Structures are given as structure tokens and as C-alpha cells.
Structure 1
Amino acid sequence: MSDAAPRSFEVRHLQMGRALFAALAAIMITFSVDHSAQVGMSVFSGFAIATALVLLLSAWLVFPAGDRWQVVLLGILTVVAGMIASFPPLRTDDGFFTTVLVWALVTGVAELAIGIVGRRRGNPAAREAVFVGGLTVILGIALAFIPRDYLLEYYIDQARRSFTLTGITIGVGVLGGYAAIVAVYLGIAAFSPRPETATAVETVDTDAAGGHA
């Protein structure tokens, strides 16, 4: 596909794809009564691999040649984390925290930097990259402060049963919350008017006004 030719796919399609898989991850965690490391790693693995495929495909379908390396880098980092999370021996509490934490910090910093540089160059995907990159870094920091051996047993009178809150339960829940925020933000961004569209409309209105003068 020539970079000069009009593209069938735009940044909004990339955002829709990422929002979809983030929403699926959030739903799977929210409606699962099991917030174990096995479930958390399974959901993260599917989310990461699917997101990486969307990023890698968008490198050729959405972005021109000079801007492809950013999404390729994010795609590679994310697919590697997803593949690591798919190994059964690593689906432990330590495996979950280490894998997701490292992915969040490395990928978050990379996407945040890409977004900051992109804003200076007028990249249409830069604003969302700054937000998602910053949020991903916050996810990594939050996981770093969750005690992995945390254990709290409590009783709820209305339910007439005891419950146990553990570090991995909190960690998986934080991942679900992160995915939900990403899904909502990118979903809204995908259906919002693009800056270039607004500029084009303003130009047409100006030309029309000048024609009636």
C-alpha cells in the first residue's frame, strides 16, 4: 500500500480494536469469582496477545512508513509479555506480579514517550498514547506497592459467610480496573471527531462564507 494513497483504516480503528479487547479483559475479570493468579495470567495473556496483533496490523494498515516503528515496538513488547503469561509454570502469584508489572512499566514508559514526541509532531494518535502510556505506568507502580503475601479474612453478616482478601486478588482486580478505564477512554476517543476533521470542516465553512461575501 502506497503511503500517498488514501487508507481504508484510520487511527480510530486501532482505538476501537484496543478498546474491544480491553473491555473483554475487564468483563472477564469483573464477572469472575476467581481472582487467582491462573485466571489473572490467562486473561492478561489473551488481552496482551490480541492487543499486540491489533498494534502490529495497524503498523501497515493505519500508519505511514515513518511512524510504523512506534506501534511495532509496542506490539513486540506486548506480544512477548502475552506469550510469557501463557506458560502454565509461570501462572503463580509471583509470576503474575512480575510479568504484568514489568510489562506495564516498560510498555507504559515507551508509549508515554511516543505520545509526548508525537504531540510535538502533530501525530493524531499522540493524545491517546500519552493517556494510555501514563495509565499503564500507574498500573505498574500500583502493582509494585501491593504486598504479594497480603491476607485478610473477614466476615459479612448479610452473606453469612467468611471471605479472604489476598494480594493476588487485589492485583488481578487492579488489572481489571485498568482494562476498564482503557476500554472506556479509547472507545470514546474512537468515536470522537478527529482534529483534522474539525479543521477540514472549519476550512469548508470559511471558504463558503468567503464565496457569499
Structure 2
Amino acid sequence: MSAPARTFTVRHVQLLRALFAAAAAVMITFSPDHSAAVGLSVFSGFVLTSALVMILAAWLVFPAGQRWPSIVLALLGFAAGMTAGVPMWRTEDMFFIVLIAWAATTGFVELVVGLRARRAGDDTARDSITVGAIGLLLAVVLIAIPAGFVQPYAIEGAGDYVLTGIILGVGMFGGYAAVIAVFLGIAGLTPKHTRAVDDAADHASPATVDHGGDR
């Protein structure tokens, strides 16, 4: 007897994550205010909703023994989202601290999960490796932005402006969200055979016994 088809799959997880990332990218892109308060507010909503998706995935997609990555990513998302959600903590320093810590830890987890999945022959391994690498890249880019960075500049006919570290940081987060949205959207719409998950589900179902020829 084969295991019943799952109504919530890895593809659905990827598409939901892409949807929330796209929403964050749009809010950052079309907001004239790239302050720490706005950046952390959008970030908080993004990681909390993404964490809810990972919790659902842990129980509806992955079998026992393969749920720990989703649970770890969800816990990291809840911790970062709740921290960023406190209005009085939405400072420029907190923006960089929270986003660097979140991007580095979740990126590392995604990368490890992807490498393990590749050894198991799971076709979704590349997706996890890529998302993890992008997360680690975001952490490196944010670390590279100098503290207290201020760069005045002028646009002829438009006036004088000032580019600051927080504007760069919030913009980098928006760019990260846009890249993740496009990548996971494409990944979610591309049919894949998740061999590791399917094999575990098959092993959990009763096997058909062949008793040989006629008696």
C-alpha cells in the first residue's frame, strides 16, 4: 500500500516563503523611509510569517527524523522577529545586530541541510544550498558596512542628499528579499522529486508482501 499523497509539500513551502519575501521586498523598495524602524518592522513581519511556514512544514511535510531543520529555522525566525518587533529596540545598531545574527545562523543551517540533502540524493538540495549561501552573503555585506557611514551626494536638478549606513543596510535587506523571492518562486514552480522525504514516507507505510507463485 502506498502512502497517501501529501497536500502540503516542499513546493508549497517554497512558494509561501517566496510570497512573504516578495512582500518584504516590495515594502522596502517602495518605502521612501529606509530608517531602522521601518527596516526592522518589515523584517519582523517577514521572518515571523516565514517561521510559521517552517513550523507547518515540520509537521505536514517532513517525516519524523527530518523535522529538525524546519524547527531550528522557525525558532531562529521567531527569536529574530520578536526582537525586531519591539518598537523601543528599533535602533540602527539593533538593525545590524539582529539581521547579521539571523542571516548568519539561518544561512549556516540552510547550507548544512542542503549539503546533507545532496548526499542523500534529494533534488531540493541545491535550493537549500543556494538560499543558505545568499543568507551568509547578506551577513557578510552587512558586516562590511562601516559603522556611522555617512556619504553626502548631489543629483543635478534634484538637490543634495545623504547616504547613510542604515539606508544601505535596509536596502541590502530589500535586495536580499527580492532575490530570495525570485529564486524560491522559480524553485517552487519547478517539479522536483524529493527522494529523501518520499523514501521516509514510503518506509512509514505498510509494505506489500509478495508470497511467490501459486500454491
TM-score, normalised relative to structure 2: 0.87
Asked if the contact 1:112/1:131 (under 8 Å) is kept, the reply is yes
2:55 equivalent to 1:53: no
Cα distance in 2, alignment partners of residues 172 and 86 from structure 1:
16
2:41 equivalent to 1:37: no
**Counterpart residue type for residue 186 of structure 1:** L
**Counterpart residue type for residue 135 of structure 2:** T
**Counterpart residue type for residue 103 of structure 1:** W
Structure 1 residue 178: Cα displacement? 0.4
**Aligned CA distance change for structure 1 residues 124 and 59 (closer, same or farther; 3 Å):** farther
Which residue is 1:168 aligned to?
A: 166
Unpaired runs of at least 5, structure 2: 196-215
Structure with the bigger percentage of helix: 1
2:82 equivalent to 1:83: yes
**Counterpart residue type for residue 166 of structure 1:** T
**Aligned CA distance change for structure 1 residues 196 and 70 (closer, same or farther; 3 Å):** closer
Which residue is 2:199 aligned to?
A: none
The percent identity for this pair of structures is: 51
How do residues 32-181 of structure 1 correspond to structure 2 at under 5 angstroms?
A: 32-159=31-158, 161-181=159-179
Asked if the contact 1:48/1:78 (under 8 Å) is kept, the reply is yes
Tell me whether 64-73 or 132-141 shows the greater mean CA deviation: 64-73
Cα distance in 2, alignment partners of residues 151 and 70 from structure 1:
39
Which residue is 2:198 aligned to?
A: none
Asked if the contact 2:122/2:193 (under 8 Å) is kept, the reply is no
Cα distance in 1, alignment partners of residues 34 and 82 from structure 2:
20
Unpaired runs of at least 5, structure 1: 198-213
**Counterpart residue type for residue 180 of structure 2:** V
Q: What do you get for the CA RMSD once the two structures are aligned?
A: 1.5
TM-score, normalised relative to structure 1: 0.87
Structure 1 residue 176: Cα displacement? 0.4
Cα distance in 2, alignment partners of residues 95 and 139 from structure 1:
16
Structure 1 residue 60: Cα displacement? 1.1
Kindly tell me the number of residue pairs found equivalent between the two proteins: 194
**Counterpart residue type for residue 87 of structure 1:** V
Asked if the contact 1:148/1:168 (under 8 Å) is kept, the reply is no
Structure 1 residue 4: Cα displacement? 3.8
Cα distance in 2, alignment partners of residues 136 and 20 from structure 1:
17
Which residue is 2:181 aligned to?
A: 183
1:138-184 superposed Cα distances (whole Å, 9 cap, x missing partner): 0001100101201111111132x211100000000000000000000
Structure 1 residue 193: Cα displacement? 2.0
Asked if the contact 1:93/1:148 (under 8 Å) is kept, the reply is no
Cα distance in 2, alignment partners of residues 62 and 124 from structure 1:
15
Cα distance in 2, alignment partners of residues 90 and 145 from structure 1:
22
**Secondary structure of 2:65's aligned partner:** helix
Greater relative contact order (CA < 8 Å, ≥ 6 in sequence) = 2
